[in-house]
Amino acid sequence: MIKFFIGVMVCSACGLLAFGCSARKEEASSLPSKGKEGITSASAGGSSMADAKKGDSLTAKVNGVTITQTDVDQAVESLLNRYGGQVSPEQKAAMKPLLGKQALESLINQRLLLQEAEREGIQPDAKALEAQMKEISGHFPSPEAFQKMLASQGISEEMLRHDVGQDLKIQSLLEKKAPKTQSATDAEIAEFYKKNQDEFKTPERVKASHILIAVKPGESDQERSQKKKKIEALQKEIEKGADFAKLASENSDCPSKAQGGDLGYFERGKMTKPFETAAFAMKAGQVSDVVETEFGYHLIKLTGREEAQTVPLEKAKDKVALYLNNEKKQKGIGDYLEKLRKTAKIEYASKE
């Protein structure tokens, strides 16, 4: 199953599909943003009742193509993995019911769009496919790191290539069929900025990387002690001049290891409290002592800081334009999807 890291790398065709993630691992999985294999025939990668594993319950059928509970569960898991260590296990458990509903509707949308792409005879452009694959692999520090991440998710490069191709099919379909929209005007941008002033107030933020040595619930004191000794040994290596990002990529138990431990910018309230307290107390370039959280032991390196501010219109203009243009585009795609759904046969499994 392709998990959250692909979603970060491949842009979504529209927000309506953002919750679609993955189907069955053995059918090349999927992209979190768009691409799905659910066409109308087995040759096109579609599921059927005969394809579903024994005991895998049906959640919906789209023009006769099955979406199973496994499809939905894997989609939800992919979404939850995007949060990494920012959300506690309890919070993740509470989020699952709502994410399950959103994931199912997104998977239905994906099936519909790919079925329509199949009817239109749309095939992915070979050059665009290669460029997309290159972009994805380029987010990893080396080809070996890319292959290692794929292996950790239980998929192959060919599976990923298949999914990217499906993704491109949907993009081509939407470019061809979705209603065309006009770009946001200067007046619309200024009006949005004026009405949403709070959105342009940015709180103090810091940028950090970390190394996590994870501790699982129920581990013995001896196991915890061994893990603490491991991170203390890493701390000593850093003090002697070892590269933080290299040690993170080789030792961290967090998915951020693929980016050398980089967590990007975050504001207060986004990280678990001990982690936040340590990060906001540091100076840029500084590495923390060992920080213990419910996830395990961390070493934190602060790599940037931004003070609270209000972004002026001139600096916000491009992002506002992008937001408004995407809104218009998503509305057009939503109208197109609604049209497809009205003529489709969508059957939901009864909940007993």
Token pair recorded at residue 308: 């609270």
Mean pLDDT calculated for residue range 115-134: 94
Tens-place pLDDT, residues 208-246: 999 999 999 999 999 999 999 999 999 999 999 999 999
Same domain, 218 and 169: no
What is Dmax (Cα atoms) for the chain?
Answer: 66
Distances 345 to 65, 105, 111, 121, 288 between C-alpha atoms, Å? 10, 14, 12, 21, 57
Same domain, yes or no, for 177 and 208? no
**How many domains are there within the chain?**
2
Please tell me the predicted confidence (pLDDT) of residue 16: 36
Give the domain CATH number at 259: 3.10.50.40
Q: What is the pLDDT of residue 55?
A: 52
Q: Strand pairing partners for 67?
A: 60
Indicate whether 190 belongs to any domain: no
Give the amino acid at 338: E
pLDDT of residue 58: 78
- Does 211 share its domain with 114? no
Q: CATH number, domain at 103?
A: 1.10.4030.10
Domain interval for residue 335: 4-181+331-348
Give the model's confidence band at 85: pLDDT under 50 very low, under 70 low, under 90 confident, else very high: low
Q: Which residue has the tokens 């199973």?
A: 68
Does 91 lie in the same domain as 47?
A: yes
**pLDDT tens readout for residues 236-286:** 999 999 999 999 999 999 999 999 999 999 999 999 999 999 999 999 999
39 and 171 assigned to the same domain: yes
Same domain as 96, residue 163: yes
Is residue 198 in a domain? no
CA distance 154 to 173: 29
Q: Model's pTM, two decimal places? A: 0.55
**Summary mean pLDDT of the chain:** 83
